[in-house]
Amino acid sequence: MTNRITGSRREFFASAAAATLVATTLPPATATAQTGNPRSAADVVGTEHWAIKRVGSDSVKLFLWNKKLRNPAGATGGPKARGTILFVHGSSVSSTPVFDLQIPGRPTSSTMDWFARLGFDTWCFDCEGYGRSDKMRSMNANIADGADDLAVVSEAIMKLNGGQKLLTYGSSSGALRAALFAQRHPERVKRLALDAMVWTGEGSPTLAERKKRLAAYQASNRRPIDRNMIRSIFTRDHPGTSDQTIVEAFADAVLALDTSVPTGTYIDMSANLPVCDPEKITVPTLIMRGQYDGIASFRDLATFFEKLANPDKQFVVMPGIAHTSTRSKNFALVYHLLEGYFSQPDPVYTGA
């Protein structure tokens, strides 16, 4: 499998290194005092990129979206980028509704905007079969396929950021994709954050229910999604943990891009776990588990954490949070944890 960046310039902001670029200035908005981010959304610019994944004779277009400060190292006095974050989406929604949800008057609804205002170079992408990426092949986009996508987009991003290793965050099946990618390509990952992760599936009530529908998932490469299904994401584990005031805007953004999604990650999480090996993940790793998450039991993740190869590792239980942490009422805790982890200095002495 080979890959390259491809495309043509769309509008505004030229870049010789980038493939297809679109830059969009977000509407001005001031961050809330709750989290104290001093910059506004007007400081952030977004650009659209495309990468090509080669699979046999097929050329698969993958959509990437980048948000960062307008001029992080320029005369305006903005800080240099504090690192490059790559966000990885889960099973049921594409990337931009999860990581760049735009709600007027709610600047904290966009995780990418938040971290861009903190000085990070932030990226997300749609796995094959999702959102704006190609859906032409007959395939169900399983975890290994997603790790293949990550290999392609990470190479593309690192060509644009001067080869800097990536701060990689994945949630739910996105955590599994990110973990398998880090296992395969540790040389590209500076720090790995795995949120709503599952390892073997032992003790998972959500996966126990999902296994009852395994035959239906195996019978088709795609499954339908609708507004009620999206609403259920926010209530299935522990009603009250999620911010219900943004659910409809989130559903609007999801359904504008997809009315069905691939079945591969559901099949893997129901029948094929484990799909990654903690003893082969050699990069610094943060495990983030919501107190009420129904996907992964504490014991399952504790065993995974114990087996992680790198001693630079952390396991955090997030109080009052279920499966969807960045859409929870306690999202500020999630942002704080990620900023601290992604800003953590490397150890000077390791004993090696």
Are 318 and 225 contacting, i.e. CB atoms less than 8 angstroms apart?
no
Q: What is the mean pLDDT of the chain?
A: 89
- The conformation of residue 11, written as its DSSP 8-state character, comes to B
- pLDDT digits over 248-280, tens only? 999 999 999 999 999 999 999 999 999 999 999
Alpha-carbon gap, residue 120 to 79, rounded angstroms: 9
Alpha-carbon gap, residue 126 to 149, rounded angstroms: 9
Type of residue found at 342? F
Residue 71 confidence (pLDDT):
76
Instruction: Give residue 73's pLDDT band: very low, low, confident or very high (50, 70, 90).
Output: low
CATH label of the domain that carries residue 208:
3.40.50.1820
Residue 161 three-state SS? coil
The percentage of residues in the chain with a pLDDT greater than 90, rounded to a whole number, is: 82
Alpha-carbon gap, residue 290 to 329, rounded angstroms: 12
Residue 72 confidence (pLDDT):
58
Instruction: Give residue 81's pLDDT band: very low, low, confident or very high (50, 70, 90).
Output: confident
Residue 141 maps to a domain: yes
Type of residue found at 297? S
Instruction: Give residue 14's pLDDT band: very low, low, confident or very high (50, 70, 90).
Output: very low
* Residue-range definition of the domain harbouring residue 196: 71-342
- Check whether 21 has a pLDDT greater than 70: no
Residue 11 maps to a domain: no
- Check whether 322 has a pLDDT greater than 50: yes
Residue 75 maps to a domain: yes
Residue 70 confidence (pLDDT):
87
For residue 172, CA distances in Å to 6, 14, 289, 344 come to 30, 35, 10, 24
Q: In a 10 Å sphere around its CB, with 0-12 CB exposed, 13-18 middle and 19+ buried, how is residue 162 labelled?
A: exposed
* Range 10-37 average pLDDT: 35
E-state strands within the chain: 3-5, 23-25, 44-55, 58-69, 84-88, 121-125, 166-171, 189-195, 222-224, 260-262, 285-290, 313-318
Instruction: Give residue 42's pLDDT band: very low, low, confident or very high (50, 70, 90).
Output: confident
Phi-psi region of 77 (alpha: psi -120 to 50; beta: other; left: phi over 0): left
- Check whether 6 has a pLDDT greater than 90: no
- Check whether 16 has a pLDDT greater than 60: no
- Check whether 282 has a pLDDT greater than 50: yes
Residue 311 maps to a domain: yes
- pLDDT digits over 130-142, tens only? 999 999 999 999 9
Task: State both tokens at 284.
Answer: 């610094």
Residue 277 maps to a domain: yes
Alpha-carbon gap, residue 254 to 67, rounded angstroms: 19
The percentage of residues in the chain with a pLDDT greater than 70, rounded to a whole number, is: 86
E-state strands within 106-184: 121-125, 166-171
Residue 8 maps to a domain: no
* Range 273-301 average pLDDT: 97
Number of domains into which the chain is organized? 1
- Check whether 78 has a pLDDT greater than 50: no
* Range 233-252 average pLDDT: 93
Residue 280 maps to a domain: yes
Residue 25 maps to a domain: no
Are 177 and 150 contacting, i.e. CB atoms less than 8 angstroms apart?
yes
Alpha-carbon gap, residue 273 to 280, rounded angstroms: 16
- pLDDT digits over 155-181, tens only? 999 999 999 999 999 999 999 999 999
